Amino acid sequence: MLALSQPIQPQTADRRLAVQAIGLHKSYGTGASAFLALDDVSIDIAENEFFTLLGPSGCGKTTLLRLIAGFNFPTNGQILLRGKDIAALPPFRRPINTVFQNYALFPHMSVAENIGFGLKMLGWTKSRSVDRVAAMLKLVRMETLADRRTSEISGGQQQRVALARALAPQPEVLLLDEPLSALDYKLRKEMQVELKRLQTETGITFIFVTHDQEEALAMSDRIAVMNRGRVLQVGRPREIYNAPVDRFVADFIGESNILSGRLVGQAAADAHQVRIAGAVATAYGKAGTSGDGTVQVLIRPEHVDVLDSPSSDCIPAVVEDEVFVGTDTRLQLRLNDGSTFMARLTNSPEQQKIRTSGTQVWLRIHSHSARLLGGEHVQHH
């Protein structure tokens, strides 16, 4: 899985906080029919950060976004904007704008008129508004389409207009509710780069909601993975991908092999010897056992070498299927204990070996790549 090159961001403790959610609860209904949409959610989001709320449908990410926007109010808890509690403020009194999934543009208006509409509602003078609209058109590279109606432009262009309109009043925070989901694959990839560029150039805090883990990895400074109304893990993309806190996060973020193993020794404080399918491997992280020494080990498909002859500490496997997908070849394997394993090999002109069904191979796990999965949920603020 490829991600865009990301600058190293300092921890939020070293930066001014833009948004804080503190002990947020949100429930709908009463009594036995009550539904708890958010369950004690706390998150710190720094200024000038591209922060993503990631999770499956119904996990609470859009509910959290709507609470920050002011479209709904929390049952309990606080929402702070630069240290001030805004949980009870209506949306129009918050310096926050939202880009919706359907863009909500006015089809009878031109591109420029759509961008300037919010400024007019805010009482900006005509000359000031004209200058700001021109700056926004340049920012989103839409100068030549200023007079075109939004009903006459493409989906990607409409999204740029929606972004320009939301950015025009210079909000302190921009909320984005799955704004790329209606675009085709190629355009979605292009707009990921464009969104990150806009966030970097404007310096505005972006809070982005998506269920697409590849999208989150590609754009985010940090990601909060959510499920069932709770935040399971917050961290940088590489941290969450390489060291997920539990099985749900490991499964949700990228492809994963999760194998049962048994502890047989300890190499260091966070390094354990684990027997997996007849071979001993070193796995890293906290050893949360089931009581009988059994542990769950995460190995990403790209973190193994596939060998054609046995070697020490390699896991024997048999090829069940091979799928060529252009840049990669994916091998479906069966281990000695009956479990399945997916390996992903990068294709190159020098290495185009074809392994047919039934071929015996051996898997060598890359150093420091096998991770122990714990059962606890943690939040890193």
Q: Please report the pLDDT score of residue 291 as a whole number.
A: 66
| 3-class secondary structure per residue, 84-105 | EECCCCCHHHCCEEEECCCCCC
Residue in the block written with tokens 């010897």: 273
Q: How many other CB atoms are there within 10 angstroms of residue 33's CB atom?
A: 7
pLDDT of 4 reads 34
Distance CA 351, CA 96 (A): 52
In 3D, which of 139, 261, 274 has the Cα closest to residue 200? 139
Between CA 6 and CA 46 the distance in angstroms is 16
| Domains of the chain, earliest start first | 1-95+172-254 (3.40.50.300), 106-170 (no CATH), 255-373 (2.40.50.140)
- List the structure tokens of 215: 């999208």
- CA 90 – CA 69 distance, rounded (Å): 8
Query: 74-88 pLDDT, tens per residue?
Result: 999 999 999 999 988
pLDDT at 10: 41
Pair 61, 55: CB distance under 8 Å? yes
pLDDT confidence of residue 12? 56
Please tell me the predicted confidence (pLDDT) of residue 323.
Answer: 93
Global confidence as pTM:
0.87
CB-based contact 132:124 (threshold 8 Å): yes
Q: What is the pLDDT of residues 113-138, one digit of tens each?
A: 999 999 999 999 999 999 999 999 99
Give how far Cα 244 sits from Cα of 285, 297, 300, 318, Å: 10, 11, 11, 28
The residue ranges of the chain whose pLDDT is under 50 are 1-10, 375-381
Beta-bridge partner residues of 114: none
CA nearest 217: which of 197, 194, 235?
235
User: What is the rounded CA–CA span in Å between residue 117 and residue 145?
Assistant: 17
Mean pLDDT of the chain: 89
Q: Is 111 helix (H, G, I), strand (E, B) or coil?
A: helix
pLDDT at 266: 84
CA angle 180, 244, 334 (to 5 degrees): 95
Give pLDDT, residue 377. 41
Give the pLDDT of residue 312. Answer: 82
Per-residue model confidence (pLDDT) at position 352: 67
